[in-house]
């Protein structure tokens, strides 16, 4: 999740575990511990773009490092406040503060390597968007209330209310996810689309409108469903994988890392500026016509939130011939896109007029007949 959410969660955990002993200083310790795992990005300037993909949410978000840091940081907290809090209580705080940070990250789409360094397997539950006000605002509101002067019992009650409400929101989001997943699976089966695997993700800032990416032998079908849709029909459009475009990069660390990072959810595209690798998990948008986003109509000029272009590294030979450059997110028309998100979130009546393809088999742009 975003930095503000993680700092707030850490502060709330600090209040819940150590406020009786340390007062509001417990919140400060919690905020520091909640921010700690995400400080791994401070090492980015020392890394090339390919290594950065493997580093964030790696060892810093692992079970092993949490176990190692628990006694060390617990000892530090107990040492600073000698005589006011026991080592056991301080260690419990550290374990919960870092552990809840990692647990919350698991509910997003960006993979977390909790088994590092023994395995680079990424865990992701695809339930929450990385910024979700409905989770953060109640947690932040009651956390701030707990910092105000008052009786200890009242402050702890306010803090607990925020933790309970935010946790309940995750449970509700899981119910929403499974409900829409069932709808997607039934509709894919009804339309005789042979699916190999499927993921559903929440769209930006909410858990009401969900996005489905269904993988087939040669590509992906993408569709959207809101909990407020008044019908069961879901219109999908197709994007081919175009893995043949990646043949020149076989054996290159850049391609192998991208395939690992995307967990195989990718599409390649040829543009005038080179070959692009699109990670389909994080969403797409039509930057020329906001009304074509979120399943309102077929998008014709797609960009992706996570998109990478292969670039020559200057190395003469070996697996480092190419590196990657992440493409900038086109910010034109953001207000219109958000307006389309709000419109689609509220639900639609009848069938959505979606037809055609976004790319042809060569990976070139344009609307084409469905496969």
> Strand runs (DSSP E) across 101-218, as ranges?
197-202, 209-215
Question: pLDDT digits over 223-240, tens only?
Answer: 999 999 988 889 999 999
CA distance 238 to 298: 10
Question: pLDDT digits over 159-209, tens only?
Answer: 999 999 999 999 999 999 999 999 999 999 999 999 999 999 999 999 999
Residue 207: closest CA among 226, 224, 222: 226
Quote the mean pLDDT of the chain: 92
What contacts 24+ positions apart, CB below 8 Å, involve 144-147?
146/12, 146/15, 146/19, 146/27, 147/24, 147/27
pLDDT of residue 16: 97
CA distance 294 to 297: 8
Structure tokens at 67: 């176990």
* Dihedral sign, Cα of residue 235, residue 237, residue 238, residue 239: negative
- Comparing 175-184, 282-291, 313-322, 331-340, the range with the smallest average pLDDT is 331-340
- Strand pairing of 237-240 and 219-226? antiparallel
Cβ within 8 Å of residue 60, ≥6 positions away? 36, 37, 38, 39, 40
**Mean of the pLDDT values across residues 263-282?**
96
CB 29 within 8 A of CB 5: no
pLDDT of residue 36: 97
Question: pLDDT digits over 91-120, tens only?
Answer: 999 999 999 999 999 999 999 999 999 999
**Mean of the pLDDT values across residues 74-81?**
96
pLDDT of residue 301: 84
pLDDT at position 363 over 70: no
- The count of other CB atoms within 10 Å of the CB of residue 186 is 12
What separation in angstroms does the CA of 242 have from each of 246, 268, 333, 365?
8, 5, 29, 12
CA distance 122 to 109: 10
Model confidence at 288, in pLDDT bands (50, 70, 90)? confident
pLDDT of residue 360: 36
pLDDT at position 70 over 60: yes
Residue 222: closest CA among 264, 283, 177: 283
pLDDT at position 362 over 60: no
In the three-class reduction of DSSP (H, G, I as helix; E, B as strand; rest coil), residue 79 is classed as helix
**Mean of the pLDDT values across residues 69-96?**
96
pLDDT of residue 171: 98
């Amino acid at each position: 999740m975003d930095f503000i959410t993680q700092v707030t969660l850490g502060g709330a955990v600090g209040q819940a575990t150590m406020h009786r002993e340390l007062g509001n200083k417990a919140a400060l310790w919690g905020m520091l511990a909640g921010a700690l795992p995400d400080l791994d990005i401070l090492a980015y300037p020392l890394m090339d773009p390919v290594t950065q993909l493997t580093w964030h949410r790696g060892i810093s978000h692992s079970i092993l490092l949490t176990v190692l840091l628990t006694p060390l940081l617990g000892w530090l907290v107990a040492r600073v406040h000698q005589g006011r809090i026991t080592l056991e209580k301080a260690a419990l705080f550290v374990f919960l503060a870092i552990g809840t940070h990692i647990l919350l990250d698991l509910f997003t789409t960006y993979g977390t390597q909790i088994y590092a360094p023994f395995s680079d397997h990424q865990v992701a539950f695809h339930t929450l968007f990385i910024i979700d006000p409905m989770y953060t605002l109640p947690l932040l509101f009651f956390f701030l209330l707990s910092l105000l002067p008052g009786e200890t019992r009242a402050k702890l009650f306010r803090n607990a209310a925020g933790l309970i409400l935010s946790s309940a929101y995750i449970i509700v989001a899981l119910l929403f996810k499974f409900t829409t997943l069932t709808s997607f699976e039934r509709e894919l089966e009804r339309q005789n689309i042979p699916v190999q695997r499927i993921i559903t993700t929440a769209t930006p800032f909410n858990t009401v409108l969900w996005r489905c990416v269904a993988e087939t032998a040669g590509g992906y079908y993408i569709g959207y469903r809101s909990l407020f849709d008044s019908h069961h029909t879901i219109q999908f459009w197709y994007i081919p994988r175009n893995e043949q475009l990646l043949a020149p990069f076989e054996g290159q660390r850049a391609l192998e890392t991208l395939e690992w990072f995307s967990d195989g959810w990718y599409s390649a595209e040829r543009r005038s500026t080179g070959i692009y690798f699109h990670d389909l998990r994080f969403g797409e948008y039509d930057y020329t016509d906001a009304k074509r986003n979120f399943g309102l109509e077929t998008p014709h000029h797609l960009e992706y939130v996570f998109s990478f272009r292969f670039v020559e590294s200057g190395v003469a030979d070996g697996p480092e011939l190419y590196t990657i450059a992440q493409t900038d997110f086109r910010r034109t028309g953001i207000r219109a896109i958000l307006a389309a998100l709000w419109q689609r979130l509220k639900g639609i009546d009848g069938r959505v007029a979606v037809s055609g393809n976004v790319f042809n088999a060569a990976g070139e742009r344009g609307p084409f007949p469905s496969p």
